[in-house]
Amino acid sequence: MARDLTFNILTPTALTHAHNGDKVGAPLEQTGRKAMLDEIREDADERMGKSIESLRTHLAKIRTGRANPSLLDGIVVPYYGNDTPLNQVATITVEDARTLAIAPWEKNLIPEIEKAILKSDVGITPASTSDLVRVPLPALTEENRRDLARQAKQETETARIAARNIRREAIADVRELVKEKMVAEDDAHRAEETIQKLTDRRIAEMEEVLSAKESDLLEI
């Protein structure tokens, strides 16, 4: 089913019909048609871009053989009664290739940070000193790498499915405009081709993100 989009640009004739509660019975002038089709394409592009950012966020949480502060993204600690992202109450640095160092802004947060890491799904046991929490990353076994690579591929497939769903919705929106005689068939056909090219480009970007993650996972 096509989504209910509200378009920002209508010709004076179309606007009069809309105010009267009538359907627009003839194609809008060229600029109006192009504006509506552009709006559908831009909406699809923005939503696919968000899917890519979501993929990056999920893949960042899959640990590799190298220490990376993004591994701790999503971890929150109680801070004055509020669950607060770890990176907003501490400085996270790479101490060496396989160790992250967390320096909380207030030392009384050290026990809370340890608890939050242990409760998270990163699967790592922290170690603390009087002023730091260290997160040592054990070396990945070959089996670990295969499992993590499989997880990365699953996350990427989820993003691909999201992009295809967005494409389907955008094309349905275009066809709804044709059905309502708000755009011409030729314009709609060109818009569908543009949406397909956009989808192909965004999926290619997802593949690049996955490839980079797989390269990280293969590093010893």
pLDDT tens by residue, 81-94 = 899 999 999 999 99
> Any long-range contacts for 88-96 (C-beta under 8 Å, 24+ apart)?
90/133, 93/69, 94/67, 94/68, 94/69, 95/67, 95/134, 96/67
For residue 138 the two structure tokens come to 């054990």
The per-residue pLDDT for range 45-81, each reduced to its tens digit, is 999 999 999 999 889 878 776 778 888 888 999 999 8
Write phi, then psi, for 94 (nearest 5 degrees): -90, 110
Q: Give, to the nearest 10 degrees, the angle between helix 185-218 and helix 30-60.
A: 10
**List of domains in the chain:** 28-60+142-218 (1.10.132.20), 69-136 (3.30.1360.40)
Task: Give the pLDDT confidence of 176-201 residue by residue, as tens digits.
Answer: 999 998 999 999 999 999 999 999 99
Radius of gyration of the chain (CA): 25
Model pLDDT, residue 12? 36
How many angstroms separate the most distant Cα atoms in the chain? 75
Assessment of whether the complete model's pTM goes beyond 0.75: no
Q: What is the pLDDT of residue 138?
A: 79
pLDDT attached to residue 174: 95
pLDDT digits (tens, 9 = 90+) for 82-141: 999 999 999 999 988 889 999 999 999 999 999 999 988 777 889 888 899 999 887 788
Give the residue with greater pLDDT, 25 vs 62: 62
Instruction: Determine the pLDDT at residue 114.
Output: 93
pLDDT mean over 168-172 = 97
Q: Which residue has the higher pLDDT, 4 or 73?
A: 73
State yes or no: pLDDT of 169 exceeds 50: yes
Q: How many CB atoms lie within 10 A of CB 27?
A: 18
Percent of the chain with pLDDT over 90: 54
Helix (H) or strand (E) holding 82: strand 82-85
Quick check: 32 and 10 in contact, CB under 8 A? yes
Residue for token digits 């955008």?
Answer: 170
How many whole angstroms separate alpha carbon 63 and alpha carbon 204?
23
The confidence score (pLDDT) of residue 7 equals 52
Q: How many CB atoms lie within 10 A of CB 74?
A: 15
Residue 93: its pLDDT value, please?
92
